[in-house]
Chains A and B, each alone.
Chain A
Amino acid sequence: MEDLKFIGQPITRIDGKEKVSGAAIYADDIDFGPNLLYAEIVESQHAHAIIKSVDFTEALKVDGVINVFTGKDFPYKFGLYMKDRYIFAQDRVRFVGEQVAAVVARDPKAAKRAAKLVKVEYELLPAVLDQMEAIKDGADLLHPDLGDYAHVPWFFPKAKTNIAHWRKIRKGDSDKAFIEADYVLEDTYNVPRYAHCAIETHVAIGKFDLSGRLTVWASSQSPFTQRHLFAEALAPLGITHKDVRVIAPHVGGGFGGKAGVTMEILSAALATKLKGYAVKIRWTREQEFYNTYQRLGVVCKLKIGIKKDGTITGLDHKIYWDAGAYVEYGANVVNAVGLSAIGPYRIPNVTIDSVCIYTNLPPGGAYRGFGYSEFLFGLESHMNRIAKHLNMDPIEFRKLNAIKEGDTLAYGAHMNPNGLFDAIDKVKNAIEWDKEIKSKNPDKVIGKGFSLFWKAPAMPPNASSAAFLKFNEDASLNILVSGMDIGQGYLTVMAQIAAEVLSVPPHKIRVENPDTDRNPYEWQTVASHITWSCGNAVRKAALDARDQIFRLIERTHYLHYDMLYLEDEKVKCKTKPDFALPLKDFVINGIQVEDGTFKGGPIIARGVFMPEFSSTNADPETSQGGHPNVHYTVGAAALLLEIDKMTGKMKVLKVVEAIDCGKALNPDLVKGQITGGLLQGLATVLYEDMRYDDKGKLLNPNFTDYKLPTSMDIPDEIIPIIIEVPQPDGPYGARGMGEHTMLPAAPMIANAVDDALGVRITSMPITAEKVCMAVIRKNV
């Protein structure tokens, strides 16, 4: 490995000072002057109903109200992977909280008052609230026209059913594998829905100026995807991509919730009817819960066969997703899990059915982990149960079956280089797995939990990143990219990559969140792929700049291109030790030659990255033949859980997580992902739970009743471990790791509870109440 100066260093975030000083501007902080209007959404009160009429005459009389708009004003469909939803409900509503109309007013209070006066008449339809009911023959259909919906070629909707997509894997012969197995364990695991709970709610401001230009400022993970979907949906109005501009300021947390398009399209669409005004929508915390994406709920029926020696012979994983009323994004969660639900194991015979099912609940969509947390809960619980049956150590059992580089994946491609075994061993040591640990308090027991995890970016095969790089007079740099720093530290890491190539320190590099008019294309900041993908683009841009610099030096100083290198912001030459030309002397104004003329000019560079080896072409009945996932990031984790036997109350005493990020471009930021992701994962298993009533209404859309962990609820000790087995096509060997950090949390807790108390809990969350009840049941 070459000597690295900036890569691998725990440098401070380039946006740190902005964020701690109050200087950072988020979408809601932007001033729009006196022509700013506010929209209040009239929402469906029913989970499933036909809209008979909308009467807004009384609302229009409220002082300050500009106008009221309904689905009739916007008969346009949109969707990321499947066009299954409209901007506003048309003839039918499919979840409680769905947008039916918008009241636009001069001030938010007037809008709110007027929205209450809009009368919507409904004809109720039976609500389908459970995915297992929704797939039964004769179930009421949410989308009778499903067969006509446009979608990406790798989705397989079943017309005249509630099944929006069905990802099948058939590899080997799992039926035979179960017959040949010495032991088969079969069980069902339930995981409910969850909410992202970024502290900043969704905010979007649309402005359609008098020349027909649409600008949207949004709290966003996906400015370019949003631009594309706005342009597609609003094309009937004569709007083209060049007329749409998305500006994404700092974003107050994403976790997948601000990916794709949800409420942003309301601001964009409303603006087109209100030329010259800016129209703002800021979701309340309640709306943030029920009308953005939610993490999908899931029922997993898992069957694994094992030989006496501990070798896994086969797996059958049937995964039934409660995907909600619209699955334009969520169906890809289903797809991703379908491809990967073997977990990080070598399994010769595989049957997977990952089924995307419409329900009359809020739309499911991207959530940190993209479905992997959900299936790993069951899979990693299962692994412990099998080990227990075989009387094997759960870690040794996993090592016997863990995937290695070159092993065949469920869809036939091969596993990338990875440090899974190193991660396992380091976690085992750090948690002192073999040491018996007992509580001094007789009412308390301590359990150990372990879990492996893996995840691949879920993205279209042609998702790409691009970067522009430009020098300033003092050899400082501006890098223009269109990923979003949603907190992970992406902007800082992009600066580090360019710094490494160009020998310009990161503090002299400005990288900011994008404006789609100025910055080059980026698909979305999702899938933990941005460090890898956009990092490659930035590296290529920096190499392009270096190439331009060396060519200029070659033709002005007559030095051999191959002998030139960059160091300390200077061009140097291996064969001419006294040559050291500062970049600032020429990166804008060029180099003067003997005849007094100047050569060169501003150094402006570009870089593009697309994974040209990726493909979704595969047999829909088996998924064999394509290369849908670019690579997997793997890891291992363990924890010590103290449980009060009387109350079920749990406390994480110590947690260790090792993750193979290929190369930690900034180890401090990698560790930040581990501490943050682990707590988010622990929250899903210990505290959080979405509760719906029998009519599909969310009962706890606020932080009083939906419990996020506070500073009082953190593990006593967290040990982050970085493993670095380079990703061959990653920038400096890096691959993504942001989402992965939360993946092992739930199964670790389930396994620790079983270890401590001998009770197996197969549904999330694992609350104190549930543990306490399980203990009581066990003891009677």
Chain B
Amino acid sequence: MSKIQIKLNGELRSLYVHPNDILLDVLRDKLGAKSPKCGCDRGDCGACTIFLNGKSVKSCNILAIEADEQEIVTIEGLSENGLTELQKKFVDMNSFQCGFCAPGITIAATELLNHNLNPSLEDVKEALSGNLCRCTGYTPILDAIMNCKK
């Protein structure tokens, strides 16, 4: 077991992990951040997407020890001071159905809007192309993001 330190949603957390522990499992089972979900365990579906040092990554593809001394934000962190404008739009436009993909998609879309204040529909589609949603046909999600442009 190795001791690692992660800044998770603004709070410094220390814990022991096995060298082969997956970051997603550690976030969920040892650190209590349940919003990243496991949908495929191999980076195909994007349900486990989190911010690692401000960049969206799939936490099922990363070892926990790689996150030592790094900063992680999940949507628990994004929602801390109330919903963001994007999250409000998702609610207003009934963007999600089962909601299982919502945490990952919210991270991916937030990242896009952080870097591109005026994305085209094609930009949005591309930004979300690593996140699978089986319920919505994506359209209501894309509509909310397009409505959220600054």
Contacts and interface: CB of A to CB of B under 8 A. Distances in A.
Contacts of A486: 97-98
A481 interface: no
A469 B100 CA distance: 28
Contacts of B130: 710
A675 B95 CA distance: 11
A488 B129 contact: no
B14 interface: no
B17 interface: no
Contacts of A693: none
A779 interface: no
Given A16-B90, A285-B39, A703-B45, A199 B133 contact: yes
B142 interface: yes
A22 B35 contact: yes
A675 B133 contact: no
A44 B95 CA distance: 41
A252 B99 CA distance: 7
Given A12-B91, A708-B132, A200 B98 contact: yes
A698 B2 CA distance: 39
Contacts, number: 166
Nearest to B88: A20
A200 B96 contact: no
Nearest to B20: A109
Contacts of B94: 10, 12-13, 16, 489, 668-669, 672
A711 B91 contact: no
Nearest to A13: B94
A371 interface: no
Interface stretch (A24-32, A259-267, A309-317): A24-32
Given A22-B35, A676-B137, A711 B129 contact: yes
Contact of B47 (A196, A199, A702): A199
Contacts of B126: 711-712
Contacts of B128: 710-711
Interface residues of B, number: 50
B100 A20 contact: no
A29 B128 CA distance: 24
B102 interface: yes
B132 A20 contact: no
Contacts of B100: 26, 198-200, 252-253
A205 to B, nearest CB: 14
Interface string B117-147: 0000000111011111111111111100000
A177 B35 CA distance: 61
A285 B41 CA distance: 8
Interface residues of A, number: 54
B69 interface: no
Contacts of B79: 20-23
B134 A197 contact: yes
Contacts of A708: 132, 134
A199 B126 CA distance: 20
A15 interface: yes
A702 B43 CA distance: 11
Contacts of B139: 675, 714, 718
A17 interface: yes
A212 interface: no
A483 to B, nearest CB: 14
Contacts of A21: 75-76, 79, 83, 87
A714 B83 CA distance: 28
Given A251-B98, A710-B132, A20 B137 contact: no
Contacts of A253: 97-98, 100, 134-135
Interface string A249-291: 0111111000000000000000000000000001011000000
A391 interface: no
A711 B35 contact: no
Given A22-B76, A200-B100, A285-B41, A679 B92 contact: no
A487 interface: yes
Nearest to B25: A108
B39 A199 contact: yes
B8 to A, nearest CB: 13
A24 B75 CA distance: 12
A17 B82 CA distance: 10
Looking at B47, B98, B129, B140, the one whose CB has the most chain A CB atoms below 10 A away is B98
Interface of A: 10, 12-13, 15-26, 28-29, 196-201, 250-255, 282, 284-285, 486-489, 668-669, 672, 675-680, 702-704, 708, 710-712, 714, 718
Given A196-B134, A252-B37, A711-B133, 20 more contacts: A16-B96, A22-B35, A28-B28, A198-B134, A199-B101, A253-B100, A253-B135, A255-B134, A285-B39, A285-B42, A285-B44, A486-B97, A489-B97, A672-B136, A675-B138, A679-B137, A710-B138, A711-B141, A714-B139, A714-B142
Interface of B: 28, 34-35, 37-42, 44-45, 47, 74-76, 79, 83, 87, 90-92, 94-103, 106, 124-126, 128-142
16 contacts: A16-B90, A16-B94, A20-B96, A22-B34, A25-B34, A199-B45, A285-B41, A285-B42, A487-B97, A675-B140, A676-B136, A679-B137, A704-B44, A710-B128, A711-B125, A712-B129
